[in-house]
A and B are shown apart, each in its own frame.
Chain A
Amino acid sequence: MMSRFMLLAPVAWRNLWRNPRRTLITLLVVAIGVWSILVFDVILNAWVTSSREASLRLLTGEGQIHATSYLDDPNVAHRMSEPEGRLLRALNSPVVSAWVRRVRVPAVIQSEYRTRAVTFLGVEPPGERIVSDLPSQVVVGHYLRDSDDIGIVIGRDLAEKLKTRLGKRVIVMAQAADGHLAERSFTIAGLFDGSQAAQDEFVFTGLHTAQSALGIGHDISEISFDTAPAASLNDIVSALKHAAPSRGIEPWTALSPLAYAMESFSQSYIAMWLAIMFVLMAIGIINTQLMAVFERTREFGLLQALGMRPGMILFQVTLESALLVGIGVLVGVLLMLITLVPFRHGLDLGFLAAGAEMFGAGRVLYPHLDPGDAVRYSLIVWALGIGAALWPARMAAKADPIVAMAES
């Protein structure tokens, strides 16, 4: 077999360049196909990662704990006590890398000129700096210092909509524990940037400030937690459920279904794209290889007359296709790498920011090539390409040796 390969490989290689134009066209078809599949894969993966990060690193965390009815109706009535006993021990175990308490209720924020519906959060600033990217996105003023901070941090965009700015007073109104309207004046301590939706929705103050404004003592609305790198989220969620059976404990997959759906469907999207591109490539490969085979019918007859078995001829033509598709795949991979070089430090989607946010991704995508994916998809395309070329190869193997005798 090896000696046959050594015999036929150079022949196959030379045969490829008998019709350079046709070969180059096929190479181009395969290369572009592979390129598009890999670039699609990289971008989609970047998108998935980004949308998950955008969601998890905003406020979601890897999981959350609420009073059971909170998610259905996130108001002040559906609050819970601070974690204690077994739940507290579970949260402080090493598999949970960080956790924070929050008050989180629907509210109205009012400036002199405008009023907007928002989500009002009381947070623990030191913990938030660990579980959320939001504290680092404060671009004007500063983030909250501690749980007793009486300032408010709102989105820069919200501030513009309210026609207010850093240092100004705004009023936050929310339903208090006693059912009445709690109103409180806050001075804007900082403005954060980031996703438009987050800027318009969330306003933050210190946890204790929010608790006293709403009159809920030490109660909280949610706990958001992150897990240690090697820990299994599902295991932690079950452990927490076990520790606190009366509370609602959800992993991010349930809290951010869009990000999760993006992640779980991305493989299908890639497979679909692969299928589409492959059909196009297969048409190209079969077409050119069939043309090549028909042109060389006489040669295949000759090879048989000289004593080459039909199987060997099949092998030779397949070898030619394997080389052709293989080179195409390599060129495609190379093109992909070249394409990604300019975006290795991130692809700024600022120009379509609103559109990107619609899908939950951040503004900047960080393309990351998974070598496993690249190898896998390259091999799949290569194998499928060879498979497609089997048809022309069979035509060649079936060539009647008698054609070698035919007169010119």
Chain B
Amino acid sequence: MRLTLSIGVIAACTLVQVFAAPAPDADAILKHSYDNYRASSSETTVAMTVHRPDWERHLEMKAWTRGEDDALVRFIAPAKDAGNATLKLDRDTWVFNPKLNQVIKLPASMMTQSWMGSDFSYNDLAKSEDIITEYTHKLTATEQSLGHTVWTIEATPKPGAPVVWGKVTLKIRDDYVMIEETFFDQDMKPARRMQADKIATLGDRPYPVTMTMHPLDSPSQWTRIDTSEGRFNVNVPDYLFTLSNLQNPRQ
């Protein structure tokens, strides 16, 4: 059974290569898009809007990334959330709560919980690489839209990969801005969708400055991310990504 499947996958891949030879490689597009989004390091200022049928909240934060695995997010507004921070180093995640003045390493059970009440879980932050590492990718469509070529990539979980989705489809423009990412459940029904609502130049590059995450089973709730400032491939000091800095920020 597994053998048959493997042969099928290999055959399919071969076919794609044969018939779509001139088309760009799906893996490369995706990798390029992620690099474009995150760069080798970044410093961004972001506003997050969490919308629910009966309430809405706004959070502002500064975020730093280093390489593919390390990130620091520090909330700056509103006042009651200011100072909260999340540090991700490789596979581990810590949170700092200024009211408790305590750093907590998130246990496994917490990783799937909502991050600051949004439609993102800690895992969504910690495991953003999954789409590259845990899936096989296939270019399924190439179309023209608003002066750009838009590639549609279908990502299928590798056998045994620890991901819940049936598949993920991504739409990436020829300037490597991802404009849509749709997560399908195992019945191949769309479960949630991230959309780029506004694309502008940020720092040195085109960037999805407004993105919204829609859980499709709850149409009246969403989380929007607005990136207002961004600097990429800048020198981010290493001390930022330490537990002591998480608790006692130097800046």
Chain A: residues with CB nearer than 8 A to chain B? 106-108, 110-113, 115, 117, 164, 168-171, 173-175, 180-181, 183-185
Contact = CB atoms under 8 A, between A and B. Distances in A.
Contacts of B183: 112
Q: Secondary structure of the A side of the interface? A: strand
29 contacts: A106-B109, A107-B109, A108-B112, A110-B112, A111-B164, A112-B164, A112-B166, A112-B183, A112-B185, A112-B191, A115-B113, A115-B121, A164-B186, A168-B186, A169-B164, A169-B186, A170-B164, A171-B164, A173-B108, A173-B112, A173-B162, A175-B107, A175-B108, A180-B91, A181-B91, A184-B160, A185-B160, A185-B163, A185-B164
A113 B186 CA distance: 11
A228 B121 CA distance: 50
B191 A107 contact: no
Contacts of A171: 162-164
Choose among B107, B109, B191 the residue with the greatest number of A CB atoms under 10 Å from its CB.
B109
A220 B186 CA distance: 33
Contacts of A170: 164
A164 B186 CA distance: 9
A181 B108 contact: yes
Given A171-B162, A173-B112, A175-B107, 11 more contacts: A108-B111, A110-B112, A112-B165, A113-B217, A164-B186, A169-B157, A169-B186, A170-B164, A171-B163, A185-B157, A185-B160
B161 interface: yes
A297 B227 CA distance: 103
Contacts of B191: 112-113
Contacts of A175: 107-108
Interface in B122-176: 157, 160-166
Contact of A107 (B108, B157, B165, B166): B108
A246 B53 CA distance: 56
Interface string B91-122: 11000000000000001110111000000010
Name the prevailing secondary structure of the B interface residues: loop
Interface in B56-83: none
A106 B110 CA distance: 12
Interface string B11-44: 0000000000000000000000000000000000
Interface in B192-225: 217
Contacts of A111: 164
Contact of B109 (A112, A117, A169, A183): A117
A112 B183 CA distance: 9
Nearest to A170: B164
Contact of A181 (B111, B163, B165, B185): B111
A115 B157 CA distance: 19
Nearest to B184: A112
B186 A112 contact: yes
A183 B162 contact: yes
User: Max chain A CB contacts within 10 Å: which of B111, B112, B162, B191?
Assistant: B162
Nearest to A171: B162
Most buried by B among A107, A164, A169, A171: A169
A183 B109 CA distance: 11
B144 to A, nearest CB: 32
A108 B164 contact: no
A109 to B, nearest CB: 9
Contacts of B162: 171, 173, 183-185
A325 to B, nearest CB: 62
A108 B121 CA distance: 13
A108 B161 contact: no
A173 B163 contact: no
List 10 tightest A-B contacts by C-beta distance, closest first.
A183-B162, A115-B112, A112-B185, A181-B108, A173-B108, A112-B164, A185-B162, A108-B109, A171-B162, A168-B186
Nearest to B186: A168
A175 B91 CA distance: 12
Contacts of B186: 112, 164, 168-169
Contacts of B164: 110-112, 169-171, 185
